[in-house]
Amino acid sequence: MTQIGRALPRPNARRLVEGAGRFVGDLTPPRMLHAVFVRSPYAHAVITGMDLDAARAAPGVVAVYDGADMATQITPWVGVLTHMVGMRSPPQPALAVGHTHWQGEPVVMIVASSRALAEDAAELVTVDYDPLPPVTDMEAALAPDAPVIHPDLGSNLCWEKRIDVGAVDVAFADPANTVVERRFVFGRHTGVTLEPRVITADYDAAQDQLTVNYSGQVPHMMQEVLATHLGLPQSQVRIVAQDVGGSFGIKIHTYGDEVAACAAARLLRRPVQFAADRYESFQSDIHARDHRVTARAAMAPDGRLLAVDVDDITGIGPYSVYPRSSAIEGNQVINLIGAPYTLPAYRARLRVVFQTKVPTCQYRAVGHPIAMAVMEGLMDDLAAATGRDPVVLREMNLIPDDAYPVRSPQGMLYADLSHQACLTRLKELMGYDALCAERDAMRARGVHRGIGIVSMVEITNPSPMFYGVGGAPVAAQDGAVVRLDASGAVHLSSSVTEQGQGTETILAQIAADVLGLRAEDIRVQTGDTAHMPYGGGTWASRGAGIGGEAMRAASVALRAQVLELAGAVLQCPPSALALAGGAIIDAASSTERMTLRELAQMVYFRGNELPAGQAAELIASRHFRVEGMPFVFSNGAMASYVEVDVETGLVTLLNHWVVEDVGTILNPKLVDEQIRGGVVQGIGGALFEECLFSDDGQLLTATMADYLVPMAGEMPDIEIAHVVTPTSTSALGAKGAGEAGTSGASGAVMNAVNDALRPLGAQISQMPMTPERILRSLGLVP
């Protein structure tokens, strides 16, 4: 039985349900100290003085460090990518030096024998501040008279990019065409990983070796970042990432508090743990989204989309986050708008703006929900303006499934996509015609229901053209090692990490197929730079497509070694042999010749029985990177069915359907559950989640009671179907599934709400669509 495609459960799930997870906070090495941070209470201020003496004298306190102390240990970082021409960001210190730029920026670190004692001491720290004018509104920040956050830069503009392709003005000027325009507002979200950021650093002075257990996705990137900024040889830094309690992109960035905890471990020669509490998470985990987009579209009388013109302005906080930069999100927004459609003309302007708020950076489905919501909102507006069915209008304009490869006006090269097939399947899955009839019947009874459709493209499996060219220490390839032990057991290791998405299971499935084993019999290790091959880790949905492909190639190489050795022993050509059921079999008759264990024991214990000169090697490693394409895109279509209570503004989610093309499906259960989780995060952005600030830059949503995330009771069941178009860039054919759900869900819900509101003459274009905002769109509250 082939292992790829089986809905195998995850071995680590068994451990986790028993409460036997190995999360970083569960590790308490002897003599471990706890780091706690005093953070800036102002969005923008000059530090005029500090009194740390009382804290230093407090019970249990081992050390107290300020920004100047840390500056002697940690070099500042600059979060710009060189290929994003003109991008600027100032050097960022681990702890604020002289000047704070957001409420929550770490200012002083207390290290004490317990967290409680460290927190007690933190209360005794006095820092004097001279508040500066906060710069909170992203548009006001660009006004000529706005206070400049980084005076050396001269303005609050981090980066600007323009795209202008085709006859945009002609399309909008022709009175025969239909033109729609909308201004969208997308709130700030954050990841709310259920396990907040946590790091335990330990320094072995005898070996000058820093070992860091961290809750994150990118061990090798962290190794590089810590080595560089702590001034250690990279070989002396070991990063271990075992169980991670959610990450979603939040845990791939450089955080000053984490680096400072590592510096403290080196200074104190003791293990130091920093575990953010939830309040700190909201103030210091990266935020995301935060866009205002003005967009218009022109359509010919026959329904053909002619042009789209977009202006996106996005606020990123005071620094572009290192090392990936905070401009990628906006860049992806303007690159992905219109992606599913044949679009002859496109113009876009992106401005990325500094503010005195929590920094924003990449979070699950970077830029995608914005791009999809904007384009699909425009499509619905075009349909409504011309009395067309929204699905029919999409069918007319989707790039045909047999047209690939296709280059978009933004220059993105799309291949192996299936928009038409996905939309057709979606219509079937949701019973589109019957659902429209039901909606209309309910409307006639005064119940306001709406259907929202989204076609989408997701960026997955990035090639080196993404970060590498910009100078970021982010590996674009991943590595895999496959080894056969004397027992006949197969062990895998991979540079891709496991955060619950099932990496370890799918890697085992891939190797199992190549080696003729059951996936259950294979052991997989991930997440330790001391033992794993070098690679990028987990981000941008690359585990299956890149890590999996490397594992396939390594398995093929091990199989060749096994067959060659077996051929030498059995005195037949390797091509006459094959692997199945843990044994070497005769390829023609399928009769067993010897087991893997027998071969391995001969190789390892009785090498004298091998022909002279025969390599006695049962281990193979391979790396894989995407070539020829900057990304391997995946695509899909989604629909949402909602009911809007026009008296309370509450939205009830009735149904949600997803059709996704992630290429070869390695494990359907894992793929579907990742998509569902992604959909729910997208729904969160559409209806609930928002980081709100006061005008003076104080974070108002700093607890889970203030920041709403979707809960079980509000979520519908989510039906999923697949179209399978393997990517031609790899043998396995897998694309990525991690962004899939999040990318389109918020746009689908917004379109559904607007479909419900349309007969009432109302429209909402701001996320999250809170009850108050819905009532405002209906003119029921001011």
Q: Which residues sit at the interface with another protein, rule CB under 8 A?
A: 9-10, 12-21, 23, 25-26, 116, 191-196, 243-248, 277-278, 499-502, 669-670, 673-674, 676-681, 703-705, 709, 711-715, 717-718, 741
> What does 396 bind: another protein, ligand FES, none (CB cut-off 5 to 8 Å by kind)?
none
User: What does the alpha-carbon distance between residue 499 and residue 494 come to, in Å, rounded to a whole number?
Assistant: 14
Nearer to another protein, 65 or 688 (CB): 688
User: What does the alpha-carbon distance between residue 179 and residue 308 come to, in Å, rounded to a whole number?
Assistant: 10
E strands along 215-335, which residues?
237-240, 272-275, 287-299, 305-315
CA distances from residue 727 to 545, 547, 724 in whole angstroms, order as listed: 9, 15, 9
Nearer to ligand FES, 46 or 194 (CB): 194
Q: How far is the CB of 192 from another protein (least distance, A)?
A: 6
Nearer to ligand FES, 223 or 667 (CB): 667
User: What does the alpha-carbon distance between residue 17 and residue 521 come to, in Å, rounded to a whole number?
Assistant: 21
Nearer to another protein, 13 or 57 (CB): 13
Candidate residues 68, 173, 194, 437; the one interacting with ligand FES per rule CB under 6 A: 194
Q: How far is the CB of 195 from ligand FES (least distance, A)?
A: 8
Closest C-alpha among 527, 673, 546 to residue 215: 527
Q: How far is the CB of 29 from ligand FES (least distance, A)?
A: 23
Element (H, E) at 370: helix 368-386
**Amino acid present at 496:** V
Nearer to another protein, 224 or 257 (CB): 257
The answer to the question of residue 582 lying near ligand FES (CB under 6 A) is: no
Count of positions on this chain that bind ligand FES (CB under 6 A): 3
> What does 85 bind: another protein, ligand FES, none (CB cut-off 5 to 8 Å by kind)?
none
Q: Report the Cα 27 to chain-centroid distance in Å.
A: 26
Q: How far is the CB of 675 from ligand FES (least distance, A)?
A: 15
- Calculate helix-pair angle for 549-570, 596-605, nearest 10 degrees: 70
Nearer to ligand FES, 195 or 513 (CB): 195
Q: How far is the CB of 499 from ligand FES (least distance, A)?
A: 8
Residue 470 main-chain phi, psi, to 5 deg? -90, 0
> What does 741 bind: ligand FES, another protein, none (CB cut-off 5 to 8 Å by kind)?
another protein
Q: Report the Cα 222 to chain-centroid distance in Å.
A: 16
Q: Is 640 helix (H, G, I), strand (E, B) or coil?
A: strand
Query: Taking CB under 6 A as the rule, which mask of x and - marks residues 459-498 in contact with ligand FES?
Result: ----------------------------------------
Q: Count Cβ atoms below 10 Å from residue 341 Cβ, excluding itself.
A: 23
Query: Taking CB under 6 A as the rule, which mask of x and - marks residues 328-357 in contact with ligand FES?
Result: ------------------------------
Q: How far is the CB of 747 from another protein (least distance, A)?
A: 17
Nearer to another protein, 185 or 711 (CB): 711
Q: Report the Cα 715 to chain-centroid distance in Å.
A: 22
Nearer to another protein, 99 or 676 (CB): 676
The answer to the question of residue 21 lying near ligand FES (CB under 6 A) is: no
Q: How far is the CB of 257 from another protein (least distance, A)?
A: 17
Q: How far is the CB of 426 from another protein (least distance, A)?
A: 18
E strands along 625-779, which residues?
632-644, 651-661, 718-722, 766-767
Contacts of 714 (CB under 8 A, 6+ apart): 653
Q: How far is the CB of 273 from ligand FES (least distance, A)?
A: 18
Element (H, E) at 637: strand 632-644
> What does 502 bind: ligand FES, another protein, none (CB cut-off 5 to 8 Å by kind)?
another protein
Nearer to ligand FES, 140 or 709 (CB): 709
Q: How far is the CB of 704 from ligand FES (least distance, A)?
A: 7
Q: How far is the CB of 17 from another protein (least distance, A)?
A: 4
The answer to the question of residue 173 lying near ligand FES (CB under 6 A) is: no
Q: Report the Cα 248 to chain-centroid distance in Å.
A: 5
Q: How far is the CB of 455 from ligand FES (least distance, A)?
A: 29
> What does 196 bind: ligand FES, another protein, none (CB cut-off 5 to 8 Å by kind)?
another protein
User: What does the alpha-carbon distance between residue 278 and residue 283 come to, in Å, rounded to a whole number?
Assistant: 9
Q: How far is the CB of 499 from another protein (least distance, A)?
A: 5
CA distances from residue 713 to 419, 497, 710, 716, 744 in whole angstroms, order as listed: 32, 31, 8, 8, 21
Nearer to ligand FES, 455 or 667 (CB): 667
> What does 116 bind: ligand FES, another protein, none (CB cut-off 5 to 8 Å by kind)?
another protein
Place of tokens 């113009």: 347
Nearer to another protein, 192 or 757 (CB): 192
Nearer to ligand FES, 187 or 191 (CB): 191
Query: Taking CB under 6 A as the rule, which mask of x and - marks residues 601-640 in contact with ligand FES?
Result: ----------------------------------------
- Which tokens go with 246? 């959610």
The answer to the question of residue 500 lying near ligand FES (CB under 6 A) is: yes
Task: Mark 649-674 as b/e (b = at least 16 C-beta within 10 Å).
Answer: bebebbbbbbbbbbbbbbbeebbbbb
Residue nearest to ligand FES (CB): 194
Q: Judge contact between 251 and 567, C-beta under 8 A.
A: no
Q: How far is the CB of 673 from another protein (least distance, A)?
A: 5
Residue 328 main-chain phi, psi, to 5 deg? -60, -40
Nearer to ligand FES, 287 or 676 (CB): 676
> What does 302 bind: ligand FES, another protein, none (CB cut-off 5 to 8 Å by kind)?
none
Q: How far apart are the first and last CA of the chain?
A: 63
- The string of DSSP codes covering 172-228 is HH-TTSEEEEEEEEEEEEE---SS--EEEEEEETTTTEEEEEESSS-HHHHHHHHHH
Q: How far is the CB of 248 from ligand FES (least distance, A)?
A: 10
The answer to the question of residue 246 lying near ligand FES (CB under 6 A) is: yes
Nearer to ligand FES, 16 or 396 (CB): 16
Q: Count Cβ atoms below 10 Å from residue 482 Cβ, excluding itself.
A: 31
The answer to the question of residue 131 lying near ligand FES (CB under 6 A) is: no
> What does 175 bind: another protein, ligand FES, none (CB cut-off 5 to 8 Å by kind)?
none
Angle at 272 between CA 267 and CA 277, to 5 degrees: 135
Q: Is 694 helix (H, G, I), strand (E, B) or coil?
A: coil
Q: Judge contact between 278 and 270, C-beta under 8 A.
A: no
Nearer to ligand FES, 246 or 771 (CB): 246
Element (H, E) at 372: helix 368-386
Give the chain's length: 782
User: What does the alpha-carbon distance between residue 351 and residue 37 come to, in Å, rounded to a whole number?
Assistant: 33
Nearer to another protein, 137 or 714 (CB): 714
- Sign of the dihedral defined by the CA atoms of residues 379, 382, 384, 389, in that order: negative
Q: How far is the CB of 669 from another protein (least distance, A)?
A: 5
Residues that bind ligand FES (CB under 6 A): 194, 246, 500
